[in-house]
């Protein structure tokens, strides 16, 4: 890996990394300043107020409110600058931008499986274009892992049964280390990979020369058919035993219990693995669970398919999935990495 200009600090290659670095250097600077200040004062006092004769009795000290207030208020203000600054960087890091290029990540002992929304699959490698926001939607097949790219100064846990998101915008082309940063068993230390940041044109070439067989949305559509979902979830009431799924993603859904829920990745996943957990108002508890019948990859494909069902007036969810907004027209299916 490329080294930064300071030893032991990894190269800085994302829109966020210099902000994290600036905060980190501020913390180090404050620490260094007070370490020096206290050491110097300590040594000075030791020398200045040393015992000069064996029978010396020091002058009694009564304390000073002024001094005590000063050394309480100043550290408090300094601590608040750290808190405020840290919170700002934290929120920026964890608030995922809406317009990011979406990439699906599934962690597994001991590899990273990655799929682009245009269908390309990769293992332990992630190709991305430079200067473009990339949003990762991540989960794991087994235990907790953690997706960590030091050069981007960002990392996030991937958790069984949940989706976590993470984003970055690489600002420099190159190859950067990807680590698993959560101990996940014997080969944890080997669960590494690379993020390859390319110019947009190179990335387009890579995409078109290295495609998966189908986009996640299309694969999800096929699954939707083979699992028999369409017999209940058809639009216009055919089947009619399950809610219509067109245009549902991102909307609020009224539940049997009177609550409402936002239809996001997490809710769809739960509805597939535990359909009775949050029943939509007006529908009976008749859907069987698909827990164990579909892998995490397949659940992500079903989600991609449901996301692709816009309310465009199509009559059934069996219509061909439209590519997601990030799909590139030049991409043609040739190779499946899996
Ligand atoms: Cu995966 Cu540590």
pLDDT at 105: 92
Judge contact between 309 and 318, C-beta under 8 A.
Answer: no
Strand ranges across the sheet with 193-198: 125-129, 193-198, 174-180, 145-149, 154-158
Which residue did the predictor score with more confidence, 1 or 113? Answer: 113
Could you tell me which of 206, 115, 130 has the C-alpha nearest to residue 168? 130
In tens, the pLDDT along 122-166 reads: 889 999 999 999 999 999 988 999 999 999 999 899 998 888 889
Judge contact between 227 and 294, C-beta under 8 A.
Answer: yes
- In the three-class reduction of DSSP (H, G, I as helix; E, B as strand; rest coil), residue 145 is classed as strand
| Ligand 1, atom nearest to 110 Cα | 1
Judge contact between 173 and 295, C-beta under 8 A.
Answer: no
Ligand 1 pocket, residues with Cβ under 6 angstroms: 107, 110, 145, 180, 182-184, 188, 191
Sequence-separated (6 or more) residues with CB below 8 Å from residue 289: 272, 273, 274, 275
Q: Please report which helix (H) or strand (E) contains residue 250, including its range.
A: none
φ, ψ dihedrals at 194, nearest 5°: -135, 145
Q: Which residue has the tokens 């494909």?
A: 301
Could you tell me which of 26, 220, 198, 238 has the C-alpha nearest to residue 101? 198
pLDDT at 176: 92
Q: Is the pTM of this model over 0.85?
A: no
Measured in Å, residue 146 CA sits from the centre of ligand 1 at 6
Average pLDDT over residues 171-181: 92
In tens, the pLDDT along 259-312 reads: 888 888 888 888 888 888 888 887 878 788 888 788 888 888 888 888 888 755
In tens, the pLDDT along 24-44 reads: 999 999 999 999 999 999 999
Average pLDDT over residues 158-180: 91
Sequence-separated (6 or more) residues with CB below 8 Å from residue 68: none
Measured in Å, residue 100 CA sits from the centre of ligand 1 at 26
Average pLDDT over residues 90-94: 89
Write the CA distances from 28 to 24, 38, 78, 153, 212, integer angstroms. Answer: 6, 15, 13, 17, 46
Which residue did the predictor score with more confidence, 293 or 192? Answer: 192
Strand partners, 333: none
pLDDT at 245: 81
Average pLDDT, the chain: 82
How many beta carbons lie within 10 A of that of residue 192, not counting itself?
A: 15
Q: How far apart are CA 245 and CA 311, in angstroms?
A: 9
pLDDT at 281: 81
Measured in Å, residue 109 CA sits from the centre of ligand 1 at 7
Helix count and strand count (H, E) for the chain: 7, 12
pLDDT at 314: 42
Which residue did the predictor score with more confidence, 25 or 256? Answer: 25
Measured in Å, residue 223 CA sits from the centre of ligand 1 at 29
| Ligand 1, atom nearest to 188 Cα | 2
Pairing of the two strands 252-254 and 101-108: unpaired
pLDDT at 174 over 70: yes
* DSSP state letter for 280: B
| Ligand 1, atom nearest to 145 Cα | 1
| Ligand 1, atom nearest to 184 Cα | 2
Measured in Å, residue 192 CA sits from the centre of ligand 1 at 9
- Ligand 1 atom 1: residue of nearest CA: 145
- In the three-class reduction of DSSP (H, G, I as helix; E, B as strand; rest coil), residue 279 is classed as coil
Measured in Å, residue 112 CA sits from the centre of ligand 1 at 9
* DSSP state letter for 152: G
């Amino acid at each position: 890996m490329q080294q930064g200009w300071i030893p032991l600090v990894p190269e800085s290659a994302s829109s966020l990394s210099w902000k994290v670095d600036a905060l980190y250097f501020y913390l180090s600077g404050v620490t260094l300043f007070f370490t020096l200040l206290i050491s110097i004062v300590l040594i000075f006092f030791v020398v200045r107020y040393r015992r000069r004769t064996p029978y010396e009795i020091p002058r009694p000290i009564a304390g000073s409110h002024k001094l005590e207030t000063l050394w309480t208020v100043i550290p408090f203000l300094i601590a608040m600058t750290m808190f405020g600054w840290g919170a700002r960087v934290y929120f920026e890091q964890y608030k995922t931008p809406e317009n990011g290029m979406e990439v699906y990540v599934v962690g597994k002992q001991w590899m990273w499986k990655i799929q682009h929304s245009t269908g390309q699959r990769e293992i332990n490698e992630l190709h991305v274009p430079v200067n473009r926001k990339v949003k990762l939607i991540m989960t794991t097949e087994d235990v907790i892992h953690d997706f960590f790219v030091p050069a981007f100064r960002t990392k996030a846990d991937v958790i069984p049964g949940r989706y976590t998101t993470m984003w970055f915008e690489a600002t420099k082309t190159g190859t950067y280390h990807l680590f698993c940063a959560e101990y996940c068993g014997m080969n944890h230390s080997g669960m590494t990979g690379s993020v390859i940041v390319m110019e947009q044109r190179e990335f387009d070439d890579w995409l078109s020369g290295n495609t998966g067989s189908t986009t996640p949305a299309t694969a999800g559509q096929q699954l939707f058919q083979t699992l028999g979902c369409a017999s209940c979830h058809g639009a216009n009431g055919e089947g009619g035993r399950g809610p219509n799924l067109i245009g549902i993603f991102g909307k609020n859904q009224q539940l049997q219990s009177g609550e409402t829920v936002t239809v996001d990745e997490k809710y769809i996943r739960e509805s597939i693995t535990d359909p009775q957990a949050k029943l939509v108002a007006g529908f009976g508890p008749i859907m069987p669970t698909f827990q164990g019948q579909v892998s995490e990859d397949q659940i992500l494909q079903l989600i991609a398919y449901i996301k692709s069902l816009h309310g465009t007036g199509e009559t059934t969810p069996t219509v061909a999935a439209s590519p997601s907004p990030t799909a590139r027209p030049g991409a043609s299916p040739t190779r499946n990495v899996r």
